[in-house]
Amino acid sequence: MPSGKTHDSITLWCWPAIAGLGWGITHHAGLALVASGCFLFSGLMFGPDLDIHSQQYRRWGWLRWIWLPYRQSLHHRSILSHGFLVGTTLRLLYLALLIGTVVGSGILGWSIARHSLGQGDWLAFAMPLWQQAWQPIGQSWQQYPEYWLASFVGLEAGAMSHSLSDWVGSKLKRWRNRRLKKTKPS
């Protein structure tokens, strides 16, 4: 299994190729930039090794605590963290759920505080705030689906460069160990 530095090197060396590939496929600088930026982010901070105390995990700094439930729920290198499409999708859903919980808790707390001060019904205040909080994301999803797709493709490519290097590294290590066993005199 490659070290964190090796994974970082793979990400940084592949980054220009991903940008070029993005440009070659889309002929659109914005989409290529989004995909390659998400590839870089995924390779360095949002990849499969968030399921252990890794460089990716440590790079979140004081926010790394948000990944503790994720780490405690998954086995390292399981299909849920390192699997094709599954790992990236699960991390995105986890992060969306976490952000939704924080935003929802803030809106609920603010609404209840206003209600307790006699400024109206908390639910009547909370619902428009909740809609305003998520409306820009929904509009963006509808107006710019190609950017959302480019983002996901970039995140997935960064995660897959990590998982593939783990897989290749493990295969080479097993092959080398078998070869050494055959050459050792008994």
pLDDT tens, residue by residue, 62-71 = 999 999 999 9
Q: How far is it, in rounded angstroms, from Cα 124 to Cα 132? A: 13
Considering only 11-15, 82-86, 90-94, 129-133, which range has the smallest mean pLDDT?
A: 129-133
Q: How far is CA 172 from the centre of its chain?
A: 27
With left for phi above 0 and alpha for psi between -120 and 50, is residue 27 left, alpha or beta?
left
With beta carbons less than 8 A apart as the criterion, state whether 8 and 44 touch: yes
pTM for the predicted model, two decimal places: 0.84
Q: Cα torsion for 50, 88, 70, 6, to the nearest 10°?
A: -10
pLDDT for 88: 96
With beta carbons less than 8 A apart as the criterion, state whether 36 and 18 touch: yes
In the predicted structure, residue 149 carries a pLDDT above the cut 80: yes
The per-residue pLDDT of the chain, averaged, comes to 89
Q: How far is it, in rounded angstroms, from Cα 50 to Cα 53? A: 7
Which amino acid is residue 24, in one-letter code?
Answer: G
